[in-house]
Amino acid sequence: MQQWFTDAKLGIFIHYGIYAVQGVAESWSFYNGRMSYEDYMKQLDGFTASKFDAKYWADLIAKSGAKYSVLTTKHHDGVALFDTKFSDLSVMKATPAKRDIIKEWSEAIRDQGLRVGMYYSLIDWSHPDYPSVYENGVVPDDLSQVNRFSSPMDGVQDPERWERFLAFNRNQLGEVLSNYGQVDLLWFDGDWERSAEQWGLPAFKEYLKSFNPDLIINSRLQGYGDYKTPEQGLPITRPEGAWEFCTTINTSWGYVHTDHNYKSLNQMIRMFCDCISMGGNMLLDIGPMEDGTIDPRQEAILLGLGDWIRTHEEAVYGTQEGIMTRYYLGGSTLSPDKKNLYLFVYDTPRENICLKGLCNPITKITVLHSGKELTHEIHGGVPWFHIPGTTWIQITPEDMHDQVTVLKLEFDEEIEMYGGSGAVVTHN
Ligand code: GLC
């Protein structure tokens, strides 16, 4: 995995599309029959991007502390946000906006020194050749359950049309990967409707990497991706390898006027700490309004997150996953040399912060945001059996940050944790 990605910790995801016009669920609203396809597509006429200011977005994203951003170049509805030769369904050709959003955005993001990620939906529920085969090539027993946007209704498959669709996807991806400078990350979605074989893997992946050998591809590629993308629910067990947790800021990916179910800044920071404590990134989604403005509540979260990250930078960027919650009941990260341990303190402690199983002597403890030094004491332990005691760090409510407090623990040697189940002390 590319170092920049594991060091980055925060990315900003953007779901921008015609669904913001009426504020309906992106693509799914017609797929699930909550509105007709025709009514959904009428939103094309209302997509103006009249206040879209790519520099403003990029500046806000940089202020959030994110090191990369991922924008929807095309969602399952098939509406491209970029200028494509291979379809008329784009905001350039089919909406009053008439702008290449991807061009303006990718330039602004790069100007901020951030990495560029492109979301691309593999499924295209508007393309006439898409509903030509079934998942795995298997005709389902009950054709009444088939969704007309993804598969044929009559049980007859047409592999030629499917090949045409694959060529279309390759062509559009060729545009995305070559017309907008270096793309660092390709964020696929919707692989689940076809098998690896149907997507033409692994040749398809080789084709994508031919544009940039360092290109990172997320896991939504039927087993051929580079990192896992758990979504909406925080992982409890650490996902294997590199990973990124994607989450909405309220409950919607795109802009939904009626969705006021926002997470608080404190919840967002804690979720972020939980991700980096397990060695992952967080990809936090915003859904801009159709005219390109961003809801002030979304902006406030991004700015608040950025303030917190800047104050605690060394506990965030370039760190590694921390110690298990059996040792410390909260989140934590480690510096790459494992000589600094950062503890995330979520709530105001009653008396002390407790740390178990620590084998090394602590040389210094500081409250990261204030620089204040804290004292500690160790009780118990059997040094001659190499069983450490319990470390109690003295802290008062006045020492706390108003969001999440970070304590920096320094060591002369790489940190070592005891993992045993204790012992009877037979030699005193
Ligand atoms: C889901 C949805 C999609 C959304 C994506 C983001 O897979 O299909 O609407 O874009 O999650 O992770």
Q: In what order do the strands lie in the sheet with 390-394?
A: 352-355, 390-394, 376-379
DSSP code for 221:
T
Whether 286 is in a domain gets the answer yes
Strands (E), 58-128: 68-74, 115-121
Judge if 217 and 337 occupy the same domain: no
- What is the spatial distance between Cα 361 and Cα 370, in angstroms, rounded to a whole number? 23
Whether 25 is in a domain gets the answer yes
Whether 226 is in a domain gets the answer yes
Measure 104 CA to ligand 1 centroid, in angstroms. Answer: 23
Peptide bond into 202 cis (omega under 30): yes
Regarding the beta carbon of 259 and ligand 1, being less than 6 Å apart is answered no
Judge if 184 and 328 occupy the same domain: no
Ligand 1 closest atom vs CA 26 = 9
Judge if 154 and 209 occupy the same domain: yes
Whether 353 is in a domain gets the answer yes
Judge if 295 and 398 occupy the same domain: no
Judge if 333 and 186 occupy the same domain: no
Q: Domain of 326: which CATH number?
A: 2.60.40.1180
Region for residue 181 given its phi and psi (left: phi exceeds 0; alpha: psi -120 to 50; beta: otherwise): left
Judge if 86 and 119 occupy the same domain: yes
pLDDT tens for each residue of the chain, 428 residues long: 999 999 999 999 999 999 999 999 999 999 999 999 999 999 999 999 999 999 999 999 999 999 999 999 999 999 999 999 999 999 999 999 999 999 999 999 999 999 999 999 999 999 999 999 999 999 999 999 999 999 999 999 999 999 999 999 999 999 999 999 999 999 999 999 999 999 999 999 999 999 999 999 999 999 999 999 999 999 999 999 999 999 999 999 999 999 999 999 999 999 999 999 999 999 999 999 999 999 999 999 999 999 999 999 999 999 999 999 999 999 999 999 999 999 999 999 999 999 999 999 999 999 999 999 999 999 999 989 999 999 999 999 999 999 999 999 999 999 999 999 998 998 88
Q: What crossing angle do the helices spanning 296-311 and 54-63 adopt, rounded to 10°?
A: 40
Judge if 191 and 148 occupy the same domain: yes
Whether 426 is in a domain gets the answer no
- AA letter at 229: T
Judge if 304 and 350 occupy the same domain: no
Q: Which of 40, 253, 283 to mutate to test the pocket of ligand 1 (most atoms within 8 A of CB)?
A: 253
Does residue 285 contact residue 253 with C-beta atoms inside 8 Å? Answer: yes
Whether 418 is in a domain gets the answer no
Ligand 1 closest atom vs CA 25 = 9
Judge if 291 and 250 occupy the same domain: yes
Element (H, E) at 367: strand 364-367
Q: Domain of 145: which CATH number?
A: 3.20.20.80
Judge if 166 and 199 occupy the same domain: yes
* Torsion angle (degrees, nearest 10) of CA 137, 141, 142, 146: 0
Nearest protein Cα to ligand 1, atom 9: 26
Q: Exposed e or buried b for every residue in 69-93, given b needs 16+ CB within 10 A? A: bbbbbbbbbbbbbbbbebbebbbbe
Q: Indicate the number of domains in the chain.
A: 2
Whether 422 is in a domain gets the answer no
Ligand 1 closest atom vs CA 15 = 10
373 lies in which domain range?
A: 320-410
* Torsion angle (degrees, nearest 10) of CA 419, 374, 280, 273: 120
Whether 419 is in a domain gets the answer no
pTM: predicted TM-score of the whole model, two decimal places: 0.97
Regarding the beta carbon of 230 and ligand 1, being less than 6 Å apart is answered no
Instruction: Name the nearest CA neighbour of 60 among 415, 365, 302, 394.
Output: 302
Judge if 19 and 116 occupy the same domain: yes
Judge if 42 and 136 occupy the same domain: yes
Please give the C-alpha separations between residue 366 and each of 372, 374, 393, in angstroms, as whole numbers: 5, 6, 10
